[in-house]
Amino acid sequence: MPAFLHSLASPARFQRLSRRVLPWSSLLAIGLISTGLAWSLVFVPADYQQGDTVRVMYVHVPAAWMAMFCYTALAISSAIALIWKHPLADLAAKATAPIGACFTVLALVTGSLWGKPMWGTWWVWDARLTSVLVLLFLYMGYIALNNAFDDPERGAKSAAILALVGFTNVPIIKFSVDWWNTLHQPASIAKMSGPAIHFSMLIPLILMALAFKAYYVWVLLVRIRGEVNAKKVRALRRRQVDGTGESKEAEIGS
C-alpha cells in the first residue's frame, strides 16, 4: 500500500487532515461552480446549430464525467478495503456511492433535457444511455447491499465485490460510441489531434468539471468524517452496554 494511504489508516490523523482541507475545498467548489455557471449561461454565445440548448452541455458533460470518476473511485476504494483491509477505504467507498449516484441522475436528466430538442425524444435505448442507466443501478445496488446485512463488515465486503464486478461497465460507457452506432457524438475533447471544440466553450466546460471535482472532495470529506464519528458513537454505546452488563453480573454475584 502506498505510504500516504497507510498514513491515513489512523482515523484521528484523517480527521486532522480533512479539517484543514474542508474549508479550501468548499470555497473552491462554490467559487468554481459560480464562475462556471455564470460563464456558461451568460457569457458563452449560443451554438450556431443547437442555439441556447447547448448550455445544458456545461452541466451534462461534467456530470457524466463525474459519474464514471466516482464509480472508479468507488471500485479503487473497494479493492483497497478487500486487499489491504484499510479501515477508511470502506468508509470512502460508502461515502462515494451516493455522490456518484446523484451525478449519474444529473447526467441522465440533463441528457434527456438536451435530447428532446436535438433528437426529438426524451430517451433512446442506445449503448451510451443504457450503460449509464446500468451505472445508476450499480450505485443503487451497492448502497442497498451495503445496508442489507446486520453485520456491517459482511455488507461492506459484499458491496465491495459488486463494485469491482460492476467496474467493467465504466469502459463500456467510455467506448460505447466507438464500439456501437449511437446517437452520441464521439469524443471531442480527449483527442490525439486536440479538442474539437472552440476555446470559448472549452474553458467554461473545464471550469465546471473542476467545480464538480472540488464539490466531490468537499462532500466526500464531510461524509467520511460523519461516518468516522458515527463509528465512534457506536463503539462508545457498545462499551456502555458491555459495562452495564458486567456491573449487573457483579451485583448478581454479590
Least confident stretch, 25-34, 114-123, 131-140: 114-123
What is the C-alpha separation between 38 and 41, in angstroms, rounded? 5
The residues, ordered by sequence, that sit 6+ positions from 84 with a Cβ below 8 Å of its Cβ are: 1
Whole-model pTM? 0.86
For 72-120, how does the pLDDT look when each residue is reduced to its tens digit (9 = 90+)?
999 999 999 999 888 789 999 999 999 999 999 999 999 998 888 887 8
Report residue 26 as a C-alpha cell: 468548499
| pLDDT tens track for 5-19 | 556 667 788 888 899
- 3 state DSSP class of 148: coil
Q: Measuring CA to CA, how many Å separate 23 from each of 29, 70, 100, 166, 222? A: 10, 21, 22, 33, 11
Average pLDDT of the residues in 134-156: 93
**What is the predicted pLDDT for the residue at 186?**
62
pLDDT at position 25 over 70: yes
Q: For residues 231 and 2, which has the higher predicted lDDT (pLDDT)?
A: 231
**Percent of the chain scored above 90 by pLDDT?**
52
Alpha-carbon separation of residue 101 from 25, 181, 224, 227, 235 (angstroms):
21, 26, 17, 18, 29
**DSSP code of 46?**
P
pLDDT, tens digit, for every residue of 185-236?
A: 665 555 444 455 777 788 889 999 999 999 999 999 999 999 888 888 877 8
Q: Which amino acid type is present at position 132?
A: V
| pLDDT computed for residue 196 by the predictor | 56
